[in-house]
Amino acid sequence: MSVAPEQTASAERDFATTAHAVESEARRLIASYPRGHARSAMLPILHAFQNAEGWVSPEAMAQTAAWLDEPLSVVESTASFYTLFHRRPVGRYMLQPCRNLSCIINGAGDIMARFRERLGVQHLETTPDGLFSYEEAECLAACDRAPCMQVNLQFVYDLTPEKVDAMLEAMHAGTFAVPPLPQTASPGRDWHVAQEGAKAPGARGVPSPNDPGGLGDKSGVEMIERLTRDAYPVRVRPTKERLVVDGPARLGSPIGPSEH
């Protein structure tokens, strides 16, 4: 699917139609688990809603709870646990560069700086045209291809600032390999959370609860400096070495008889 930038205006939202479209998939998912384990279909049903609407709306969570006969609080607490679910309208491209240890050592600082500069946004913000939402994520479990990110939950590996430039240009042109999300509601400018009373965010030098102190923050940088200076006095430098060389993509291969 290719969507040109001018098509980023929100489509009129009709949740009843969306729920109807998702229902057959939900029934198939629920039926794929043993009787009494319908709850196991919760995450894929939420993904189905997100694929249909671009986000997991309160109505989607309520409908999921009803289909699974689970309390709404169970669905909400599950969805809120994962950065994979967008619980608010987001841009057509959800950009989530990793800011954790392997990625920081391999240059994620430059990647995040490039995104912030090119898009004019900060962590947890959406561009005014609604095209891009930006969130610096914790480890995405692709440390061997650092620095990496997810675009609409698809991985992009071995980032460089130049790669970021090319990526954004392709997205603006509607030619990027990862399709844009549907957008059934206009995203807000940001989704910062308010500071709760005097509660500290739990990281040194991090005054905002929106920056919980990952390695992209001051506390994480201090920790790396301490580790490399005191505990493990080694020279840390970016590397492109790989322990395992990726073979041809095999994930899509059909399951068949062994060749051996």
Question: Residue numbers of the site for ligand FES (CB under 6 A)?
Answer: 98, 100-103, 139-143, 146, 148
Q: Take residue 186 and report the two structure tokens written for it.
A: 């206009």
Smallest distance from ligand FES to CB 1, Å: 27
Amino acid type, 147: P
Q: In this complex, which beta carbon is closest to ligand FES, that of residue 60 or of residue 94?
A: 94
Three-class secondary structure assignment of 155-214: EECCCCHHHHHHHHHHHHHCCCCCCCCCCCCCCCCECCCCCCCCCCCCCCCCCCCCCCCC
Q: Which of 211, 193, 192 is nearest to 201 (CA)?
A: 211
CB nearer to ligand FES: pick between 41 and 111: 111
Residue 61 Cβ, how far from ligand FES at the closest point, in Å?
28
Give Cα 195 to chain centroid, integer Å: 23
Residue 130 near residue 8, CB atoms below 8 Å: yes
Q: Tell me the closest approach of the beta carbon of residue 105 to ligand FES, in angstroms.
A: 8
Backbone angles phi, psi at 25, to 5 degrees: -65, -40
Q: Which of residues 92 and 99 has its CB atom nearest to ligand FES in the complex?
A: 99
Beta carbon nearer to ligand FES, 22 or 94: 94
Nearest approach, Cβ of residue 100 and ligand FES (Å): 3
Output 141 or 200, the one with its CB closest to ligand FES: 141
- Residue 194 DSSP SS3: coil
- In the block, which residue shows the tokens 């930038």? 5
CB of 163 to ligand FES, least distance (A): 15
Q: How far is CA 242 from CA 143, 145, 245, in A?
A: 10, 8, 6
Residues 6+ positions from 69 with CB-CB distance below 8 Å: 38
- In the complex, the smallest distance separating the C-beta of residue 104 from ligand FES, rounded to whole angstroms, is 7
Query: Token match 């205006």: residue?
Result: 9
The residue (of 100 and 127) whose beta carbon lies closer to ligand FES is 100
